[in-house]
Structures are given as C-alpha cells and as structure tokens.
Amino acid sequence: MAAAGEIALSTKALVAGYEPDLPIVRGVDFLVAKGELVAILGPNGAGKSTFVKAIAGLVPIHSGRAALGSFDMTAVPAHEKMHHGLSFVPQTENIFATLSINDNLLLAADILPKRRRKHRVDDLYAMFPDLAARPSLRAGQLSGGQRQMLAVARALVVEPSVLILDEPSAGLSPKIVTEVFSRLKAINEAGVAIILVEQNVKAALAIADRALILVEGRVRHEGSAATLADDPIVAELYLGARREREVQP
C-alpha cells in the first residue's frame, strides 16, 4: 500500500466473480488517496475489469470489503453508488446511443436536486464544448472519441469523489487517446480521484501517480508509475517490453 493522504476508496481482501465458486478477483487490498490517479494494469484475463466492476456493484462481491472514504459500500447496489460519489465508465456500451447528448447528461443529473440539474449540465457543456455544439444529436452518431468524452462527462455530472474508467482508450486512435488522457489528467488535477484500468500501459503510466499490476486476480506489483515504468522485470513480464524490443529493429 503506497497511498498517502486521506483515503478516497479502498478494498480489503476483496474476492469477487460472476459465480460464487469461481472467483476472478482473489483477495485484493487496494487504496486510492483523494486526488490520486491510479492505473490498474496487467495481462488479459488478470481480473482488472472484474475488480472495478465489483467496486461499481456490477459483479458480486463474495467476501472482503469495499469502502468509499469511511463508508462501507460492499453491499450497496450499483444504482446507489453514484449518489455516494462513485462514478463508473464501462469499457463498451458506455453511452445511451438512442438518446440525445443532452438526455445522456440529464439522466445522470436526475439524481441531483432539481434546482441544480440544469446548472450542472451547463457546467459540463462548458467543460466539453464539443458536446455543447449539438446537444440534441443522437449519441449513437458521435465518433469514438466523442462517445468516450460523453461517457466521462456524464460520469462527472454528479461531481464524484472517485471516477473509475475501464479501458477508456479501447478502440480509439493514438491521437484521440492522447486527447482523452490529457482530459482525464485535467479532471484528476481538479481534485477527482481516478482509477484507470488500461491495456495501453505507456499512456496510462504517463498520467498516473501510481499503478498496480494484477495477475490472476491478485496484486503482483505496486508502486509509483515512474518506478514501474522503469522496472525492467515488470516491463518485460507484464508490460509488453519484450514484444516491443522484438518488433523494433
């Protein structure tokens, strides 16, 4: 555990999976400090997505504990977590394609007091001017990068203390990934703790404060992003350095 400062989110011995007798996440201890950006990395099938889905309430937690600050949210259903300040952006199908941009944002704003809804959506339009240009456009007509931005904007409507993103770079061009990640860094610098599950290790470590590497549902390595990026063993075993070396002349 390398986190310092006040705790935004934590898990203790978390065991989770779709079937009770088949755990995918096997006893993960994890801490994120307020305002920290933590990347969760690891090979395919390591349980990264299952881990964050369990925190978000989409995968059953079999044992252990997940807490938002000091609030135990292990048994809190998915739809209530946003009320407590936890927002989750899934990897795929993370917007309502048949609804307009505005309706996507209003859906999240509906849990706010009535007088704050419009004001908060306007704030988000100011933060994401691309979305403000055509609020009545069907979200399904947006490009991949714009969809990701809409999903992030919707997650921010409730001013979460913790934002979890499951592979936000999936399916995006390198240029758009850079744009999305610089936006995520700006959101983090504004005080939102971010948990970032990523396959794009280089991009994730470039913006993360800290990273942990999951292998077969367990934490195998943990440290500052800079340390992990420079660790040759970690890079070779889990971050694809060997493959990168092989393909480079």
Partner 1 sequence: MNPQIVMDGLFTGSMIGLGAIGVTLTYSILRFANFAHGEFISWGAYFALAMAGALGALSGALLTPIGPFSFGWALPLGAVAATALTGGLALLVDWLLFGRLRVNRSTVIIMVMASFGAALTLRSLLEFIFTSKPVYYTKALQIALPLGGGIRATPDQLLSLGVAAVLVVAVHLLLTRTAIGRSMRAVSENPALAGVVGIEVRKVIRTVWLLGAGLAAIAGISAGLIVQIRPQMGLDLLLPLFAAAILGGIGSVPGAMLAGLIVGLAEALAVQTIGAEWRAAAAFAILVLVLLFRPQGLFGRAE
| Minimum distance, C-beta of residue 96 to partner 1, in the bound complex (Å) | 5
Are 210 and 39 in contact by the 8 Å Cβ rule? The answer is yes
| Minimum distance, C-beta of residue 17 to partner 1, in the bound complex (Å) | 16
Percent of the chain that is helix, strand, coil (3-state, to 5): 40, 25, 35
Separation CA 214–CA 216 (nearest Å): 7
Helix (H, G, I), strand (E, B) or coil at 72: strand
Q: Name the one range near partner 1 by CB under 8 A: 74-82, 171-179, 203-211, 215-223.
A: 74-82
Q: Which of 32, 82, 193, 195 is the binder for partner 1 (CB under 8 A)?
A: 82
Are 193 and 160 in contact by the 8 Å Cβ rule? The answer is no
One DSSP character per residue, 121-157 reads: HHHHHHH-HHHHT-TTSBGGGS-HHHHHHHHHHHHHT
In degrees and rounded to multiples of 5, residue 224 shows phi and psi of: -70, 155
Q: 4 vs 78, which CB is nearer to partner 1? A: 78
Angstrom distances, CA of residue 204 to CA of 50, 166, 225, 239: 19, 12, 9, 11
Q: Does 115 bind partner 1 (CB under 8 A)?
A: no
Q: Which of 21, 22, 75, 98 is the binder for partner 1 (CB under 8 A)?
A: 98
Separation CA 146–CA 90 (nearest Å): 15
The first and second tokens of residue 94, run together, are 């993370």
In degrees and rounded to multiples of 5, residue 63 shows phi and psi of: -155, 170
Q: Does 93 bind partner 1 (CB under 8 A)?
A: yes
Q: Which of 6, 72, 80, 244 is the binder for partner 1 (CB under 8 A)?
A: 80
Q: Name the one range near partner 1 by CB under 8 A: 73-81, 169-177, 188-196, 240-248.
A: 73-81
Handedness of CA 42, 44, 49, 51 (dihedral sign): negative
Q: Does 14 bind partner 1 (CB under 8 A)?
A: no
Q: Does 246 bind partner 1 (CB under 8 A)?
A: no
Q: Does 128 bind partner 1 (CB under 8 A)?
A: no
Q: Does 88 bind partner 1 (CB under 8 A)?
A: yes
Q: Residues in contact with partner 1, total (CB under 8 A)?
A: 26
Q: Which of 35, 62, 103, 220 is the binder for partner 1 (CB under 8 A)?
A: 103
Q: Residue for token digits 């609030």? A: 71
Q: Does 124 bind partner 1 (CB under 8 A)?
A: no
Q: 28 vs 109, which CB is nearer to partner 1? A: 109
Q: Does 58 bind partner 1 (CB under 8 A)?
A: yes
Note the residues at the interface with partner 1 (CB under 8 A): 56-58, 77-80, 82-83, 88, 90, 93-99, 103, 106-108, 110-111, 154, 158
